[in-house]
Amino acid sequence: MTYALLVYDLDGSLKELAAENKRRLHRGHAKLGEVARGGSGSLKPLAHYRFRPSRHTTTVRAGSTGLIRSEGAASATSGTLRALYLVESPDLDAGVELAERLPAVEMGATAEIWQLAAPHPAAQHD
């Protein structure tokens, strides 16, 4: 099964960190990914990406006069989406274990674990 771990920090919480602490946080995430890739466990990381700040985000939505493009995220949340991990695992428990080991979560961030479904193949027409 494929899972997505979405990591949110509390708004502004990383801004309060000293530069060295930010670097240590990023090194911790990188090291965790290396350990998981080289490990013998059932968890297989497929990808890890950090999100740019929301000022680099563009939202597209349908409006009454057509498509509307706007700068920024579509909605405000209690935290800022900071990272995405895609992992392959036979069960949810391995994904939870990874989330518990994320340095950002240890510092107060939140991780959501979403089970992903493969897209349905296109219907064949006779």
Tens of pLDDT along 31-79? 776 655 655 567 777 887 778 777 788 888 888 898 888 887 776 655 7
72 domain residue, yes or no = yes
SS3 59: strand
Question: Residue 36: its pLDDT value, please?
Answer: 58
Cα(23)–Cα(82) distance, rounded to whole angstroms? 15
73 domain residue, yes or no = yes
Question: Residue 94: its pLDDT value, please?
Answer: 84
Q: Do 7 and 107 contact (CB within 8 A), yes or no?
A: no
Residue numbers of the domain that contains 75: 2-116
15 domain residue, yes or no = yes
Sign for the CA dihedral angle at 16, 22, 28, 34 comes to: positive
DSSP-derived letter for residue 118 is: P
Q: How many domains does the chain have?
A: 1
11 domain residue, yes or no = yes
Question: Residue 78: its pLDDT value, please?
Answer: 58
Question: Residue 91: its pLDDT value, please?
Answer: 86
Domain with residue 61: its CATH number is: 3.30.70.1060
99 domain residue, yes or no = yes
SS3 56: helix
126 domain residue, yes or no = no
Cα(114)–Cα(86) distance, rounded to whole angstroms? 10
